[in-house]
Amino acid sequence: DIVMTQTPLSSPVTLGQPASISCRSSQSLVHSNGHTYLSWLQQRPGQPPRLLLYEISNRFSGVPDRFSGSGAGTDFTLKISRVEAEDVGVYYCMQATQFPLTFGGGTKVEIK
Amino acid sequence: EVQLLESGGGLVQPGGSLRLSCVASGFTLSNYAMNWVRQAPGKGLEWVSCIRSSGVSTVNEDSVRGRFTISRDNSKNTLYLQMNSLRAEDTAVYYCTNLYDPSRGSFHDYWGQGTLVTVSS
């Protein structure tokens, strides 16, 4: 199975300031078809998860452009350019390059 | 309005069985592969199982293989998860979602609110 490792575990951020979350996979996420199936999900307190980004950097419908993704191979980053109050929650990276789909352990974003 | 409504969760003894259902409304379930994702209390997300849109092909996470069976009835717009030989470590909120379609390599974002399964004596 591909192991996904996220850092940090927790990220206290001042409103309006940027936040960054890293995700590393135990092996390359480049699929044989050339796509890299790395996604980012957000889970607000008491809510189901929500898809933010797929294939590293593609924002899903309705996701604000303050969320961006980058990376390649085994190292990926989610950035929030200016954190807003509604961004509080836990963020997960997820790989779908091979089954089983696996998630990172999560990074809690909270307001200082 | 798009909605996924899970049901069937509850308290069950170790070794017991439960059948979860997920009824879709506001969209056509048969257009999507469907997945079950679970979350143990206070823990992270864990993918459990996937079934392609036609229902012909399924994939399961190792720890549930041979115990859980995913199925669907597209005529009823309903997804199922039959869970047998339940263990304490299966205790979690179970979400149905069309998050990932392996046939198309596509991603989607319909989620239910989840149903809690508690395995305890």
- Mean pLDDT, chain A, rounded, equals 97
pLDDT tier, A61 (very low <50, low <70, confident <90, very high otherwise): very high
pLDDT tier, B21 (very low <50, low <70, confident <90, very high otherwise): very high
Query: Would you give the DSSP letter of residue A27?
Result: S
> What number of CA atoms fall less than 13 Å from residue A55's CA on the CB side?
10
pLDDT tier, B12 (very low <50, low <70, confident <90, very high otherwise): very high
The residue ranges of DSSP E strands in B8-113, in sequence order, are: 10-12, 18-25, 34-39, 45-51, 58-60, 68-73, 78-83, 92-97, 100-101, 106-107
Tokens 């993704």 belong to A69
CA A81 – CA A67 distance, rounded (Å) = 7
Q: List, for residues B22-61, the tens digit of each pLDDT value.
A: 999 999 999 999 999 999 999 999 999 999 998 888 888 8
Residue (of B19, B21, B47) closest to A103 by Cα position: B47
The rounded percent of chain B whose pLDDT value lies above 90 is 93
A1 part of contact set with chain B, CB < 8 Å: yes
Exposed/middle/buried for residue B74 (C-beta within 10 Å: 0-12, 13-18, 19+)? middle
The rounded percent of chain B whose pLDDT value lies above 70 is 100
Is the per-residue pLDDT at B80 higher than 90? yes
B50 part of contact set with chain A, CB < 8 Å: yes
Residue B57 pLDDT: 82
Average pLDDT estimate for A13-19: 97
- Mean pLDDT, chain B, rounded, equals 96
Residue B59 pLDDT: 86
Q: List, for residues A64-110, the tens digit of each pLDDT value.
A: 999 999 999 999 999 999 999 999 999 999 999 999 999 999 999 99
Is the per-residue pLDDT at B15 higher than 90? yes
Average pLDDT estimate for B91-106: 96
Residue A93 pLDDT: 98
Phi/psi for B28 (5° steps) reads -95, 110
CA B38 – CA B50 distance, rounded (Å) = 12
- Interchain proximity A103–B97, CB inside 8 Å: no
Cβ neighbours of A100 in B, within 8 Å: 47, 59, 61-62
CA A58 – CA A56 distance, rounded (Å) = 6
Residue from B3, B36, B109, B116 to probe the interface with A (highest A Cβ count within 10 Å)? B109
Residue (of B91, B96, B83, B82) closest to B25 by Cα position: B96
